[in-house]
Amino acid sequence: MLRGLYTAASGMITRQIQSENLSNNVSNINTPGYKKQKVVLKSFEEMIVQNKDKQIGNKNFKRNIGSLELGVGIADTVVDFGQGVLEKTDRNLDFAIDGNGFFVLTNENNEKRYTRDGRFLIDERGFLKHSSGLHVLGADNKPIRVNTDNIDVNQLKLLVVDFEDKASLKKDKENVFIAASEGKAVNAHIKQGYLEKSNVDAIEVITEMISIMRSYESNQKVIQSLDETLNKTVNEIGSIK
């Protein structure tokens, strides 16, 4: 019975984490270039239940009763890099990658970051920057400097790289990624005056949220039922009369 409590509780904890992850996705549904995260589940190893009530002579022998499931847990949280819809903005400093690849950014320590969010601006010194304040790199691997916002994507030569193993990319703040190694430069199709929308699907999120809440409530009812049974066991069956 106690194992049942643990199993139901692990299910509730897992559903809670899934719900929090979905809430984070929903909060970024309007963030350009945002990539949704998915929670990957795993089942705990089955246990073989045995007893020793089989007796031959003065010896008791083990007998397998069956297997016992111990619930589910979180295996990992992964990023879905599927492309979002490209939305026309007509802003000259908005850029979207149509296909694979990431814009390359750098901070003041020359550490590279990667993003699909092409909301750029020009600072007071004429450098092209990401909305987070990071410098945007050109094909020469140097920060791009322009004299005017009347620029053309064909002359700008933005650096775009891609990764064979996108699972190695880890989310950082400001809608950018950190990579364990540098990506490979690719010839990407970049559309000026467009932004890639978040790949979060509102209908999919609502459907998944309903499923998670139902599962959470089911586990909650199991715990309530087992708690009532334990209460009766302790206060009624176990009482001395």
Beta-carbon contacts of residue 56 (< 8 Å; ≥ 6 apart): none
Q: Give the orientation angle of helix 2-27 with respect to helix 202-232, to 10 degrees.
A: 160
225 and 125 within one domain: no
In the chain, the N- to C-terminal Cα span, in Å, equals: 25
User: If you search the block for the tokens 């979207």, which residue do you land on?
Assistant: 96
Q: Which long-range contacts (CB under 8 A, 24 or more apart) does 82-85 make?
A: 82/35, 82/199, 83/196, 83/199, 84/33, 84/34, 84/116, 84/196, 84/197, 84/198, 84/199, 85/196, 85/197
Claim to verify: residue 171 and residue 221 sit in the same structural domain: no
210 and 136 share a domain?
A: no
| Three-point CA angle 42, 43, 46, nearest 5° | 155
Same domain, 171 and 96: yes
Question: Residue 193 in contact with residue 89, Cβ under 8 Å?
Answer: yes
What is the amino acid identity at position 53? D
Domain boundary pick from 181, 196, 211: 196
Do residue 90 and residue 70 come from a single domain? no
Same domain, 67 and 164: no
The string of pLDDT tens digits covering residues 207-228 is: 999 999 998 888 888 888 876 7
**CB contact at 8 A, 34 and 22:** no
- Residue 16 shares a structural domain with residue 71: yes
Same domain, 128 and 222: no
State whether 98 and 19 are in the same domain: no
pTM, full prediction = 0.80
Give residue-wise pLDDT tens across range 24-65. 999 999 999 999 999 998 776 666 666 766 666 677 767 776
Instruction: Indicate whether 105 and 172 sit together in one domain.
Output: yes
| pLDDT at residue number 217 | 87
Residue type, 22: L
Structural domain for 218, as ranges: 2-79+202-237
Domain count within the chain: 2
Q: Which residues of the chain have pLDDT under 70?
A: 1-4, 6, 44-50, 52-57, 61, 65-71, 227, 233-234, 236-241
The DSSP symbol for 168 reads G
Q: Which pLDDT does position 234 carry in this prediction?
A: 67
What DSSP element (H or E) covers 21? helix 2-27
